[in-house]
Amino acid sequence: MKKKFSVVAIANIAASSHAQSVAPAAQPWKEAEPLRVLRLGPDLRPVGGWVEYAAGSTRGDCAALLAFDSLNNTSGDGCPMPAGTTGSSHVVNDLSLAAGAAGGAADAITLLWQWDSSEQCYLGVVIYDEFDATCGGPAASSPLGGIVFDFGWMPTGSWNMKADLCSVGGPPLPEDGSGAYELFMSNQYAGGDFVLTGKGRWLLGDTRGDGVGSQGPIQWEDADLDGEFGAGECVDYSNAEPCLDGLGAAIVIHTTATACPGDFNGDTVVNSLDFVAFLNAYASSDPKADFNGDTVVNTLDVLAFLNAFVAGCP
C-alpha cells in the first residue's frame, strides 16, 4: 500500500540499515548534469512544469556566496574522503548558513551520491525553516520550497552534480539563517508524485575543517522509505572516533550575497539593534554569530561584523 508524503508518494521498499555504509573508494566520482528541473512551492507541490536545465548565470553576482558546505571536511586531521554513505536515500538534516546568506535562495547546489541500479533517477532537495534535533519529531517543519533534478536513465556509479539554478530560481533559504534540508531519491514520477527508491545513498560529509556554515550530529534517516520519520529513524552521528563525528548527508549551497550584511537582524536598516542582536548571538555562541563563515565563533567574527556594521547599507 502506498502512502502520500506531500509531493512524494512512497512505495514499500525493504529498510536500509542506519549504520553508515562505506562508499566505493575505488570508483571515481563522475560528474552528472540534470536534463531538466522542477520547482516545488512551500506546499511541496510542483510550481509550473518541468524546465530544461541550462547551466550559466543570468546575473554576474548570482551564486557568488558560499552559503553552506557540509562536504569539505579536509581539515588536515587525516580523515579520508569520502567518509561513507547514509543509511537511507531519504534524509533530513539541519543547517546554519554563513553570514550574508540568510533569506537568499539556493542559486547553486552540489550533491554527491552512490547510484546502485541503472534506471531512471530523480533527486530532490527541500529547504525547511525548522529542524528537530531532539528526535521527538517531526524531523522538519515549515517548508520553504524545493527543487527536483531529472537525470533520465542513470548508470550505476558514484556521481556528483554542481547545478546552477540562477536561470530558474532555487528554493528559498531560511530568513533567520538556520533551518533544515531534506534529500530524497526517486525512480518514478507519476500523477504529480514521486516514488522513493532505495537504489541509492548520499555521501556523508560534515562542516568541520574547511566547511562553511554549521550543523549538528543529528540526522533523520527514513529507513523503511515510508515517507515519514518515526521512532528509531533519528540517527546521532556523534562518535568518539574523530573521523565519524558530526557527519551528515553532504550538500553545498551557493547563494547571492545580500546587499547589506551589516543588517544582522534583517530589518533592512543598519543601526544599534543590529549591534545588540549580534552581541547576543555572539555571547551565546549562536552559529549565526559565525559572521565570517569559518565554523568557529570567535573575535574574528566580531571584527568582521564591525567592518560590515561601519560600512552600513549602500
Beta strand 157-164 with 108-115: parallel, antiparallel or unpaired? antiparallel
CA distance 34 to 254: 18
Radius of gyration of the chain (CA): 19
Residue 176 is classified by DSSP as T
The stretch 63-86 carries a mean pLDDT of 69
Q: Is the pLDDT of residue 146 over 50?
A: yes
* Average pLDDT of the residues of the chain: 81
Q: Which are the contacts of 63, defined by CB distance < 8 A and separation ≥ 6? A: 57, 107, 108, 164, 165, 166, 254, 255, 256
Each residue of 167-216: pLDDT tens digit? 888 999 998 889 999 999 999 998 778 999 999 999 988 765 555 788 88
Q: What local confidence, expressed as pLDDT, does residue 237 receive?
A: 82
Cell numbers linked to 48: 509550473
pLDDT at 314 over 80: no
Q: Where are the domains of the chain?
A: 3-9+22-255, 272-311
Q: Is the pLDDT of residue 15 over 50?
A: no
More confident residue, 131 or 212: 131
Cβ-based burial of 314 (10 A; exposed 0-12, middle 13-18, buried ≥19):
exposed
pTM assigned to the model: 0.76
